[in-house]
Structure 1
Amino acid sequence: MTRRPGLSVRWRLTLSYAAVVVVTGVLLLAVVWVFLLRYVPTEQISLQSGSVPNRTDLVRAFVPPAVGALGALLVAGLLGGWLLAGRVLAPLARLRTAARLVGTGSLAHRVRLPGRDDEFRQLADAFDAMLDQLEAHVAAQERFAANASHELRTPLAITRTVLEVARDDPEHDHSALVTKLLTVNARAVDLTEALLLLSRAGRRPTARQPVDLSLAAEEATEALLPLAEARGVALEVEGTAAHAPGVPALLLQLVVNLVHNAVVHNVERDGGGVPFVRVTTASGTLDGGSVAVLVVENSGQELPPELVATLTEPFQRGTARVHQDQVGAGLGLAIVDAVVRAHEGTLRLDPRAGGGLVVTVRLPGAGTPPTP
């Protein structure tokens, strides 16, 4: 689409200011004409001491200075308008410079407009806030791409190494080779599916239906019960119905990821006893609206707050509490965070007193429970 050439905003403001000044001058002269000159007689009046000027004489004496005054007002309006428009539009020049720098890929530049809190200052602050979010998002995407490349490269490198060893050793056990390749391939498939799910979970769903988080919790714990029994972890489910509008598959995946993460990252408590995972659901009100709450609590080692704050980042496994035999890409809580944000909810992670983690998910509640 071609753009038509035209006057700049500064010139348009200048002409507008000058027009206002000239029109004001014309109105003042019109007032003088209407309310003063109309009382001057048009005919010549003679007195003993001389003649009295009539309207024609006054017009001849008044018009040239009035025209000169209008010309001076026009020049003053143009000069003053040009200077005033430049001063008013100066913040836009800074915004334009910042936008051009952002267009070249420089996200570190900020406007930081000084002065009073006016409309331009608010616009500049909003632009800076947008750049802060954009820079953080780009940095997170770069970390994600680098970590994803590393994670996907690892099974490929293992596969290549195994195949090279088998090629150089004709007497290599082929059944062991196939088993190893199947294990590596399964991990690569799981990682790819997790990346696809993470991408899909970040999109805000349009078609929603009421989902009972308590039923999702029961289904998730039932599916993960064999894994928990194999690791010696006790699963507990309690609470009441908690209905939230959303996509059933994504909300079920949210619960599954939380419970799975709590099971595989669990360790035996220092004071003895069976490690546990407790899932609780509830519904309530918050700020005048209904909410559905899901809490997943697990035992384990002490977690520093600075580590807990990073657990929702992709590929962050929390190595301080990971078994050596644990597998996974570290996308479980990242997927949970994406699902929660897509459903306009909140996710909170807190270190548990005595060791372990407490994850609290709050989602907007459904207006009515689903029909049985």
Structure 2
Amino acid sequence: MAGPVLVVGAGLLGTSVALACRRAGVEVLLDDVSPEHLRTASGLGAGRPLSEGDLPRLVVVATPPQHLATSIRAALDTWPDAVVTDVGSVKEAPLTALRAGGDDDLERYVGGHPMAGSERSGPLAATAALFDGRPWAVTPHETSTPQATDVVEALALLCGAVPTRLAPADHDRAVARTSHLPHLAAVLVAGRLADAPPAHLALSGQGVRDVTRVAASDPALWLEILGANAPAVLDVLGEVRAELDALIGAVARPGSPDLTTILARGNAGTAAIPGKHGGPVRPTRSVFVSVPDHPGELARLFGDAGEVGVNIEDVHIDHDPGRPVGLTELVVEESRAEHLLAALESRGWTTHR
């Protein structure tokens, strides 16, 4: 990528973009209203603070959602020869605000949204590997130039991501379905635990942890995200409300074929999620292993699986309170599961079939 990249906003995403660019040998300039964030990101090796006279060729706006349109407009005005993109989670709202102020130079703006993040925030949570293998939506609008779109797709590739081109409105509908709705569903499930009796919470297993994990994210940030994408989120929430009513009716009729249909639709939706590297989902099977809860045991388990030639597709750890072991779930190709079980048992591991 020719010329320096300017990252405006040195939080989690902005600093991660900067670190990924530095990993690829690209010069990076940093700007942030917070001197502390700027010092921290620079200290991490993400780039150097912007100086007077610097001329970026690409500006990446990584400010909070409510400041996106203002920051994008400032970048377009300040650097008239630069392509401008952003990493915001909503694309229609800032584009509409930009058009309200005139669209004479919007051909240099192409929206972007890397589908990656963390429950943590700020530059100290950043990593150059945050986007590796993750989707990165590239959202050109009607007047974006092909050259500007190519530059933004090149940024996604340079950061290790997989660019996917979508219209801004299609993007917002997609993230409402695949990101915002799952977050709200997790919030509702987690909310039912807030006042639960301790005896109930003692029965919590890995399933409830998996479902509620993202509910721990910053509420202030989600207020901004949901406010910016309210129309698309309301559409999918309306669909879920109708399905919830149907589910309540089906559960009230034990043995109802409607309940079978709803559960099967859940299976179909899970199967529709793209598999590794965006390919079709391959059949997998879970292998459960008891792992002593002290240093080095998990590494030894992974090492033993690698030595017998089995690739671990995913892993989950269920810590049972009061027990000196954790139940580790290794997700592997279905055809390799029995081989892994036999191999681990021969090496002294306690497995659960």
TM range (shorter): under 0.3
TM-score norm. by structure 2 comes to: 0.20
The structure with the larger Rg is 1
User: Larger helix proportion, structure 1 or 2?
Assistant: 1
TM-score norm. by structure 1 comes to: 0.19
